Amino acid sequence: MLIVLYMKNRLREYRARQNLTQDDLAKKVHVTRQTIIAIENEKYNPSLELAFKLSKTFGCKIEGLFEE
């Protein structure tokens, strides 16, 4: 039996601080809006590469965006 744990995140909060729509953020990090929605709703864990892109976009550490 496979159990998948999704990380809690503060992506929506960081995005709101910078007045970015889900579509704006998706374009900045080169993913679809659906990917951003899935991450915000904790239905998808981003790849390490995407996590780095998101943290760079918001000027914070990955640990600031995501937690176990």
The 10s digit of each residue's pLDDT in 8-33 is 999 999 999 999 999 999 999 999 99
Closest CA to 7 of 41, 52, 30: 41
- Which 8-state DSSP code applies to residue 60? S
Dig out the tokens for 50 from the structure: 């995407």
Reported in sequence order, the residue ranges of 21-62 that DSSP labels E, i.e. its strands, are none
Confidence of residue 44 (pLDDT cuts 50, 70, 90): very high
46 Cβ contact partners less than 8 Å away, ≥ 6 residues apart: 35, 39, 54, 66
- Cβ–Cβ under 8 Å, residues 3 and 18: no
Give pLDDT, residue 68.
63
The model carries a pTM of: 0.89
